[in-house]
Structure 1
């Protein structure tokens, strides 16, 4: 008798959705982050929080297998690597793995016990190292010369940042003899904490000098473009952002350093004998003048490990660099090889993470935000607070039930927790600090963006949604930003801010009016300064001040886009007068004043009285605007699967979109297909099929398609392939099962498809070969029964390189 899996409740389905969305958002944020975003310290999720969310998702899916859809984050090991502007992708000689994270001493004990049992040793020798809070880097030396420096990327492929790494003076370019023919040195790039503080102080001083210069030039009636220097708030992100800068001269000015913590591939040469232990390698690296951490110790008992963790934790705030834990590794290199790896991590190492830090801050308000699918969620608006290196002012509260569960009220002093760079979490209120002025949060009944009633999409849904998808500005903004994401059309210039400028240019208008009411100034693009007269700045005249503030401001600008259908018809002249409101900062801090400026064009230069302004220099499209329009033009020839993802069809992610595009070949064929025909596609199923079929039935969706077609979008472009490798696997039907190191299941399939293979989801007599990794299970058994060739996952890279020739060798 077959036992049917349990059915998840609505609350469990909702929690799965929340976890999946947070994990996917974190992955997208990490892999899509610009140098500016990294340097700003705005990363919302750290490895620690990611692992917690990921573990919870895995636990849910183990109890309810039906939640583990093809596009679930658990079907992916990492994210794809797209090189930043000015850099190229490079394959590592040996995979750069992540580490197994543990969060308690009991888990450390379990790991140590497993190691002892596996090695047959009562007390195996361990290296205990500080887990440096930096950016993982691999240095490749050939014949003693530094030839390449590569970021970790997805473990298999990273970005070549050699030109920037050569500016780090602590990294030697030549190794003294003897040395191997080839060696990969692994370590972390970081900003020393003291140097980071002095660096920021220098920038603050420069800002004060530039402010004086701007004031003096203004007195002389001259305009200046001298800007504020960015004040970094997070050493780790400053290091990561610096290495992704394309200007090496700028990187050379940054206080970057490097500490090695191991080696990857080593090709020995005559006269050089490789150390047999990790501690021996640390000594060798030091002899080559490559810095290693002086905090590393060799230990061989649980007591020594506990003492090391405790001592380092007590001193973590006084170290030369930031740390977020302790790394434990088997010292013997041969023992490491015998223990091997899981799909994601080496068995011979683990990373103990210190408990998260907590602070108190004031909860000023609870707002609500509208997502791409109309889901309306509350979030905490707090007094900005510095927490573990970054300024936090907002935190998600997930849903109204979560607000009630935590018992927080508007006005509360709340406990805010954040470990490393994790998404900030409001734990609950400090009840003893309440004075009676606090008030309960009431979930609005109308969409804050369009005023449409919010309610569940169907009976029994836990989520509240704005169902006005066609006309809700917030949903349109999110759809436009999604359209430009790397998982969709991959348009670099179409991110959150540009999507907001196109769809909601007046998003901050109420804040600007409030600033005027509060006596602050507003500067228009023409240079005109607005400010209420002193007679209206007194308390008790709110109605008069509001009316006067609105009268002072220019008429509200209309959005350029009211639907994504018009996106591909955009011209440069359409963007000329897109104005946004931006807060004016002083030394990185808000002044309360605002300015109006053009988003897609340079600012014009004007002179003369306000009522008779003379244009000295006309605004011109910025370089990024020109690039955006070029990218939009190129995106018209995107593969069909990318266009399907860009259309924001619910449940249709990149994997399902690829399978649908491969099966039907054109949008016209997809529209004509029945739900049954769509469901027959491997990996699609009834839910995705029905969602796709229903989407095509909506009139405004059809109008988007018509508008895109009129603008020249090609809805029948096949999957683009590299011409040099496109035929390596042509004519073969391959199946991937189990884990493949360095690849998600989707990215492994994409790599095979890019070389001409047909990738199936099940093994049959027609299957040419099965790529089998850990967890292949019944598919491997079936392949053996049918006599289908099995390619071990560790030979996947060889398969991609040799193609069909590898099958002949098996």
Structure 2
């Protein structure tokens, strides 16, 4: 056999054995035999570099060094999931689905909610070309070299896979492997890792991929993303992914109704500890991709999926003291400082107490034994007090009257639970917090500038507001702690590049209270420039769709401030985008203003999402379900009969894709 054929045969054989062992859990040869074959291939490849293949099984041992992980924008956003904690929550969700889909039959795919690090894998022509972490859902870090060392991730696919697609999953560290890693660390006199989830996540960002290869990471896949996938449903997608060579857990079930979903949930709440990896709940998805498209998304999550979280673990510990934190809006949050205790795999020293009302409701006192749990929130919270262990000397907590940072008397608005520090422009955490919000990923996305650096810049007196960022020089930032010349260059370049960020994101970045991403988008579209928005009255603002009195009052209050107006004038002078660009204006119109459209079915000339964008760009509103306020239903192929019946009953006109395109 010639060398090239020998190398090719070894690669094929090792790929097959790797799949049998790590995906099917059905090895055909011993570990020793596998290692001997792998060493033989490594030797041949070293001697004959002309036959190099970036997807050879030898890549699994790692060796690539990644100094900086490149930020990559997801071509299809990775949304988070809404959480539920009871059957009633799921039934409410099912009723919301029914309102949109009418009397269509709905099936659900139930899957285990793996507790690891989310990942998106991109394949072209059956070859793994990119692996990106979830990040903030819009963009993440490229970790391809590290992911290639995970044996259950196929480098080449088999079967009838699409030309190009993405598949999402979870990188997990199985419990047995985690225990073995920790035993090795203890034997070596090192501190053991705290939990599998954080260790899996941290592994993806190791610079040396050979170190990643030593860790027994696994990759469990659960969702296809892309177009022309050749599948019609979530469950079919899971089956296809298995055929293509992915490791898809066998536990997924197709359920006809909420009762069957609850049976699945109840079973795994009891039996989850029998699994080789950790789960923290169940994910329920509407099975049909067509129905998923009909249901769409909120700003943060798909309407067609829900995470059922298992009851949170609860522990008891001592409340040692209460401290108070000031956020960027001036909101003051009490934080419980606890006797350290192990909870859900991490050591907890602090827990949220939310506000004064919560402290009073729990009647929590310093020295109490308190119950702490980690539910759907990242920060643990106190949920109760063990009164049987309370000291007779324990006194009720008196909520602070002055800001813990600047000493200003706190205020509390009628009907609000939170206390606020009104010293907006002189309270250090508010100053720092506003700038940190301004530079964040969903706002100005200034690369090279993180929260810690902002705090340092404020502390050094180099900046006191976000407009000051645009006056920074390389010479000013180089002396900062941990700031090398390259880092300083990146920071200044990142600030300069932020001048290209579109108006709607700049508006969100300004940090106007109650103006989140969705509201900022609506206001930018309606007023088109910061000057027009600044002149708007409360009545004008409330007249904008979905803008309520609270948001309107906050916007007017923001522009009533001379300080804010001076900052905006400075931003204009630095070239920050404070109006919709000419290109965007050319692409938009008001031709559909005042009209509400419901989009239903499958379309030929444009995708469903493109249709919705066209509606919004031309001044129309996209509705999620047909009602008396719906102006038109844009109907494509496979529109459900219940939608047609509802439109007919309400007298709503149904138009085709071509008719809609003619309208604009």
TM range (shorter): 0.5 to 0.7
**1:455 match: secondary structure:** coil
**2:408 match: secondary structure:** coil
Measured in 2, the distance between the counterparts of 1:256 and 1:382 equals 33
The residue number in structure 1 matching 2:400 is 444
Pair 668,108 (structure 1): closer, same or farther in 2 beyond 3 Å: closer
Measured in 2, the distance between the counterparts of 1:669 and 1:299 equals 52
Measured in 2, the distance between the counterparts of 1:466 and 1:804 equals 56
Pair 707,266 (structure 1): closer, same or farther in 2 beyond 3 Å: closer
The residue number in structure 2 matching 1:343 is 296
**Cα drift, residue 451 of structure 1:** 0.9
Contact 1:773 1:792 in 2 (8 A): no
The residue number in structure 2 matching 1:570 is 472
**Cα drift, residue 360 of structure 1:** 1.2
The residue number in structure 2 matching 1:429 is 385
Q: Does 1:402 align with 2:358?
A: yes
The residue number in structure 1 matching 2:310 is 354
Aligned to 2:453, which of 498, 505, 518?
A: 498
Pair 320,698 (structure 1): closer, same or farther in 2 beyond 3 Å: same
**1:173 match: secondary structure:** coil
The residue number in structure 1 matching 2:574 is 713
Question: How is 1:150-549 mapped onto 2 (pairs within 5 angstroms)?
Answer: 162-177=144-159, 187-199=169-181, 233-240=194-201, 242-243=203-204, 251-261=212-222, 278=235, 282=239, 289-293=245-249, 295=251, 309=265, 312-326=268-282, 342-343=295-296, 352-419=308-375, 422-456=378-412, 462-504=417-459
Measured in 1, the distance between the counterparts of 2:418 and 2:258 equals 47
Measured in 1, the distance between the counterparts of 2:165 and 2:609 equals 31
**Cα drift, residue 109 of structure 1:** 9.5
**2:433 match: secondary structure:** helix
Question: How is 1:578-593 mapped onto 2 (pairs within 5 angstroms)?
Answer: none
Measured in 2, the distance between the counterparts of 1:673 and 1:297 equals 53
Aligned to 1:807, which of 640, 654, 661?
A: 661
Pair 128,771 (structure 1): closer, same or farther in 2 beyond 3 Å: closer
**Cα drift, residue 692 of structure 1:** 3.9
Pair 759,501 (structure 1): closer, same or farther in 2 beyond 3 Å: farther
Measured in 1, the distance between the counterparts of 2:336 and 2:261 equals 40
CA deviations over 1:125-162 (Å, ceiling 9, x no partner): x9865432234556565665445556678999987765
Pair 110,503 (structure 1): closer, same or farther in 2 beyond 3 Å: closer
The residue number in structure 2 matching 1:89 is 73
The residue number in structure 2 matching 1:612 is none
CA deviations over 1:746-804 (Å, ceiling 9, x no partner): xx9998999897453xxxxxxxxx564532534423x47xxxxx377999xxxxxxx99
Measured in 2, the distance between the counterparts of 1:749 and 1:657 equals 24
Contact 1:89 1:160 in 2 (8 A): no
Any gaps of 5 or more consecutive residues in structure 1? 1-83, 209-228, 505-557, 578-599, 603-619, 742-747, 761-769, 785-789, 796-802
Contact 1:105 1:306 in 2 (8 A): yes
**Cα drift, residue 370 of structure 1:** 1.5
The residue number in structure 2 matching 1:624 is 487
Contact 1:144 1:177 in 2 (8 A): no
Contact 1:663 1:681 in 2 (8 A): yes
**Cα drift, residue 405 of structure 1:** 0.3
Pair 173,338 (structure 1): closer, same or farther in 2 beyond 3 Å: same
**1:718 match: secondary structure:** coil
Measured in 1, the distance between the counterparts of 2:518 and 2:305 equals 33
**Cα drift, residue 425 of structure 1:** 1.6
Question: How is 1:665-680 mapped onto 2 (pairs within 5 angstroms)?
Answer: 667=530
- Cα root mean square deviation, aligned: 5.3
Contact 2:296 2:303 in 1 (8 A): no
**2:295 match: secondary structure:** coil
CA deviations over 1:220-252 (Å, ceiling 9, x no partner): xxxxxxxxx9x7534334434554678756654
CA deviations over 1:543-598 (Å, ceiling 9, x no partner): xxxxxxxxxxxxxxx64444555333233444466xxxxxxxxxxxxxxxxxxxxx
CA deviations over 1:276-327 (Å, ceiling 9, x no partner): 9959965x76665533435567899999987765554344345311112345
Measured in 2, the distance between the counterparts of 1:734 and 1:633 equals 37
Pair 397,147 (structure 1): closer, same or farther in 2 beyond 3 Å: same
**Cα drift, residue 424 of structure 1:** 1.4
Q: Does 1:704 align with 2:567?
A: yes
Measured in 1, the distance between the counterparts of 2:252 and 2:453 equals 47
Pair 423,268 (structure 1): closer, same or farther in 2 beyond 3 Å: closer
Measured in 1, the distance between the counterparts of 2:564 and 2:234 equals 62
The residue number in structure 1 matching 2:115 is 133
Contact 1:127 1:279 in 2 (8 A): no
**Cα drift, residue 449 of structure 1:** 0.5
Contact 1:731 1:757 in 2 (8 A): no
The residue number in structure 2 matching 1:520 is none
Measured in 1, the distance between the counterparts of 2:517 and 2:439 equals 14
**Cα drift, residue 387 of structure 1:** 1.6
Any gaps of 5 or more consecutive residues in structure 2? 1-67, 601-606, 640-656
Measured in 1, the distance between the counterparts of 2:162 and 2:534 equals 60
Pair 102,367 (structure 1): closer, same or farther in 2 beyond 3 Å: closer
CA deviations over 1:249-273 (Å, ceiling 9, x no partner): 665454321234566679699xxxx
Identify which range, 363-372 or 672-681, moves more after superposition: 672-681
**Cα drift, residue 194 of structure 1:** 2.8
The residue number in structure 2 matching 1:777 is 627
Pair 429,175 (structure 1): closer, same or farther in 2 beyond 3 Å: same
**Cα drift, residue 416 of structure 1:** 0.5
Measured in 1, the distance between the counterparts of 2:575 and 2:167 equals 46
Measured in 2, the distance between the counterparts of 1:264 and 1:716 equals 33
Pair 406,494 (structure 1): closer, same or farther in 2 beyond 3 Å: farther
The residue number in structure 2 matching 1:30 is none
Measured in 1, the distance between the counterparts of 2:659 and 2:508 equals 34
**Cα drift, residue 661 of structure 1:** 4.9
**1:478 match: secondary structure:** helix
**Cα drift, residue 398 of structure 1:** 1.7
Contact 2:363 2:396 in 1 (8 A): no
**Cα drift, residue 362 of structure 1:** 1.6
Measured in 1, the distance between the counterparts of 2:610 and 2:592 equals 11
**Cα drift, residue 649 of structure 1:** 3.2
Structure 1 length as normaliser, TM-score? 0.56
